[in-house]
Amino acid sequence: MSTRLYRSGCAAIAFVIVLSAAVAADAQTLPSRPIALADGQVTLGGDLSMTMGPQDPGSFNYTDYEQSTLRLFRGDLTAAVKAGGRVTFLGALRTENGGVRPHAIYVRVKPWIDRAFDIQAGRIPPTFGAFSRRAYSTDNPLIGMPIAYQYLTSLRGDSLPGSADELLQMRGQGSHLRFSIGSDEFEHGVAIASPSSWDTGVQVHSSSEIVDATLSVTAGALSYPLWRDDNDRKRVAARLAFHPAIGLVVGASGSRGPFLSRTAAHSALGADREGEFTQTAWGADIEYSRGYYVLRAETLFSDWTIPMAGAPEVGMPLGAMATSIEGKYKIGPGLYAAARFDRLGFSEIVGSHGSETWDAPVTRAEIGGGYSLQRNLLLKLAYQYNIRDAGAVRRSGLFATQLQFWF
């Protein structure tokens, strides 16, 4: 991201916010409701955020769109168009530091009007996990993201290491890596679960007062959702969320699908066996809110299986586990404090120098808070500290501020 582009984005959102504030000065508040047209048949909404922070030399906060979450201008424009009582067309456009891409485009069908059951098809919301299902950045009390949904590991689906030693040489370098098999270009690795891109496929959802259930069949892997499969295989994911008491949500998720692209499989094995090398993930989460506080915790497990020299038939299992614990407390009207602790660990493999984790474990702590300047204008401040045991930068402390506006 160029400095000029970043500054242009910051200036643009600042102008929009100031202009909106001026227009709404008589009401002493910014417009905070979605725009309804055609007697409510068309609804428009938006979410704008401007995040200002220092350069991140350790790439601790880079996403799979190669942007830093601490230096980001992001805008979302959403639309919902009803076609009768059973069918709704939904879509979203997103911009991140320039350029616009379709973030979502899908149709929702309710076969029965009086039942909480629907089918969605197209570029659909994620099924797996708790954090990935929070639609707006305002649902994140801090500025950084939980490490399982953002931190880039030293693993790619289109490029493979030829040996355990080659993989170990890339520990802590997930933002910029290359292997000897498959694509020979430098690229970033993958996170356990990517929230930057939604899934493409079909999703079925049903709910009651006690439980929500979601099942989907989509393209790509949990680590990198795709518009179109690069291996002609599908991923299956499911999530159950229980509401046993007021303010308490307990969830569980599962996902399994091919991880390796056809090109990488053919380069490694001389055959299109990409369907044999998968990513399997499990997740558990809990949220409890009462009075002035909200507590959340989430743990994700992931196992990738990739072919490796010496064992191409069975593949090499690579495991990772990420845990996030988060809390938010309302101090007063419009003011809150928040904190999050993350830990990402990896399984061990055997190289020429002995046993070692296949990527560098990472620990992250972030504290901060927010103040509502208006009902839908939020200012956040945060400090984040990262530690890992490999890479060019092993420790990093970063301050950031964020301004959010939504309607």
Q: Which CATH number applies to 3-406: 3.40.50.300, 2.40.160.10, 3.30.300.10, 3.90.1170.50? A: 2.40.160.10
In a 13 Å sphere around the CA of 143, the CA atoms on its Cβ side amount to 34
Q: What is the pTM of this model?
A: 0.88
Q: Give me the amino acid identity at 265.
A: A
Work out whether the CA dihedral 129, 130, 136, 137 comes out positive or negative. negative
Q: Which residues of the chain, if any, have pLDDT below 50?
A: 1-27
Q: What is the pLDDT of residue 260?
A: 84
The whole-angstrom separation of Cα 259 and Cα 134 is 25
Q: What is the pLDDT of residue 30?
A: 57
The whole-angstrom separation of Cα 49 and Cα 87 is 31
The whole-angstrom separation of Cα 405 and Cα 303 is 38
DSSP line for 127-184? -S-SGGG--SGGG-SSSS--GGGTPPPS--SSEE-SSHHHHHTTTT-TTSB--SEE--
Q: What is the pLDDT of residue 18?
A: 44
Q: What is the pLDDT of residue 142?
A: 96
The answer to whether 283 and 300 have CB atoms below 8 angstroms apart is yes
The whole-angstrom separation of Cα 315 and Cα 161 is 12
Q: What is the pLDDT of residue 275?
A: 65
The answer to whether 315 and 277 have CB atoms below 8 angstroms apart is yes
The whole-angstrom separation of Cα 256 and Cα 249 is 24
Q: What is the pLDDT of residue 99?
A: 82
The whole-angstrom separation of Cα 143 and Cα 10 is 16
- The secondary structure of residue 391, as a DSSP letter, is S
Q: What is the pLDDT of residue 157?
A: 87
Q: Name the token pair of 331.
A: 């101090």
Candidates 249, 250, 264, 379; CA nearest to 315 is 264
Q: What is the pLDDT of residue 20?
A: 43
Beta-ladder partners of 248: 245, 288
Q: What is the pLDDT of residue 313?
A: 52
Q: What is the pLDDT of residue 269?
A: 73
Q: What is the pLDDT of residue 379?
A: 96
Task: Give the rounded distance of the alpha carbon of 67 from its chain centre.
Answer: 13
